[in-house]
């Protein structure tokens, strides 16, 4: 095992999961090294053989079960939730033996979002309530080009709160009526937590990752939460003075 790890360290090669094929042969082993431990691996056909390494859970060994097989693929899911898909082809003499798989950008985003879900309250003053249903922004964080909004939802009633939709858009303070031309909807990069339902008499936390931005003085970030088949709609208004105080997240080790 130490010998295998030494070879991998010395021969690290970057692999683009969407552009470069993985080549395998029947008498030589191809090694894939992932940034996180492997949760699940699935081969497109039985023409390729896969084997995890017992003492290194982020390494997958791949070999051809037969020669000249048809084009196939290999899918791998890692513990951070990332999904990798590799085209695989047969080659008598593969050009590469060891592939160092780079982390996906969304991998770090999902890891940060999941990691701050249980953080304590760090911000006050952004709150809305309707008929025993409360919503608040309990924290704003930043890492690189991503802002993370931590939402705390508390259902004080005996009726489940079913979420119809959760939307984010930039809104003009001076406009009394909302139109598509006046709003700029923001699409989340990642959402952590239950965005379907808040059970009766329970609390829930949702973390939303959005691309980094600031807001002009005449506008604010609107976070809209609507109840399905109900009237307990919630609107959180986040102004620029709160966004610029976002807490810087540390590097992942």
Residues 6 or more apart in contact with residue 162 via CB below 8 angstroms: 196, 197, 227, 228, 229, 230
Q: Kindly report the length of the chain.
A: 253
Contact 232, 133 (CB under 8 A): yes
d(CA 60, CA 74): 11
Helix, coil or strand: residue 13: coil
* Domain, as residue range, for 96: 2-103
Query: Assign residue 150 a region: left if phi > 0, alpha if psi is -120 to 50, beta otherwise?
Result: beta
Chain centroid to CA 45: 28
Same domain, 123 and 37: no
- Which residue(s) pair with 90 in the sheet? 24
For the chain, give percent helix, strand, coil, nearest 5: 10, 45, 45
Q: What pLDDT score was predicted for residue 2?
A: 40
End-to-end Cα distance, the chain: 24
- Which residue(s) pair with 150 in the sheet? 139, 207
Which of 86, 103, 120 is the endpoint of a domain?
Answer: 103
User: What is the DSSP code string of 18-72?
Assistant: TT-PEEE-SSS-EEEE-SS-EEEEEESSTTEEEEEETTEEEEEEEEESSSSPPPE
Same domain, 121 and 63: no
Which of 56, 82, 103 is the endpoint of a domain?
Answer: 103
Angstrom distances, CA of residue 228 to CA of 24, 165, 206, 243: 51, 8, 18, 29
d(CA 22, CA 15): 9
Tens-level pLDDT at each residue, the chain (253 residues):
443 343 333 333 444 444 468 999 999 999 999 988 898 899 888 999 999 998 898 999 999 998 888 878 898 988 766 788 888 999 988 888 999 988 776 667 888 998 998 899 999 999 999 999 999 999 999 998 899 999 999 999 999 999 999 999 998 877 655 554 456 788 888 889 999 999 999 999 999 999 899 998 889 999 999 999 989 999 999 999 999 999 999 887 6
Q: What pLDDT score was predicted for residue 176?
A: 56
Q: Number of folded domains in the chain?
A: 2
Q: What pLDDT score was predicted for residue 68?
A: 82
User: Is residue 253 assigned to a domain?
Assistant: no
Same domain, 116 and 97: no
Q: Which of 207, 186, 194, 190 lies closest to 141, judged by CA?
A: 207
d(CA 204, CA 223): 16
CA angle, residues 212, 218, 222, in degrees to nearest 5: 55
Same domain, 127 and 34: no
Q: How many CB atoms are closer than 10 A to CB 108? A: 21
Q: Which of 242, 172, 171, 166 lies closest to 209, judged by CA?
A: 166
CATH of the domain at 141: 2.60.40.1150
Same domain, 147 and 201: yes
Strands 98-100 and 83-90 turn out to be unpaired
Same domain, 10 and 76: yes
């Amino acid at each position: 095992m130490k010998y295998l790890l030494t070879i991998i360290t010395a021969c690290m090669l970057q692999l683009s999961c969407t552009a470069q094929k993985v080549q395998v042969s029947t008498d030589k082993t191809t090694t894939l090294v992932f940034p996180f431990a492997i949760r699940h691996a699935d081969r497109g056909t039985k023409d390729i053989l896969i084997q995890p390494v017992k003492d290194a859970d982020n390494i997958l060994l791949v070999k051809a079960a037969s020669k000249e097989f048809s084009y196939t693929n290999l899918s791998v899911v890692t513990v951070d939730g990332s999904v990798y898909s590799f085209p695989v082809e047969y080659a008598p003499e593969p050009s590469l033996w060891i592939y160092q798989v780079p982390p996906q950008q969304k991998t770090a985003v999902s890891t940060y979002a999941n990691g701050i879900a249980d953080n304590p309250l760090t911000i006050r003053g952004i709150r809305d309530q309707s008929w025993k249903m409360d919503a608040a922004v309990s924290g704003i964080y930043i890492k690189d080009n991503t802002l993370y909004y931590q939402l705390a939802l508390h259902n004080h009633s005996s009726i489940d709160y079913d979420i119809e939709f959760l939307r984010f858009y930039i809104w003009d303070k001076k406009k009394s009526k909302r139109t598509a031309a006046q709003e700029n909807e923001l699409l989340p990069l990642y959402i952590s937590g239950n965005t379907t339902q808040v059970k009766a008499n329970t609390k829930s936390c949702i973390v939303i990752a959005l691309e980094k931005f600031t807001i002009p003085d005449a506008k604010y970030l609107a976070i809209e939460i609507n109840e399905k088949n109900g009237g307990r709609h919630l609107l959180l208004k986040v102004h620029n003075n709160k966004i610029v105080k976002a807490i810087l997240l540390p590097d992942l080790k």
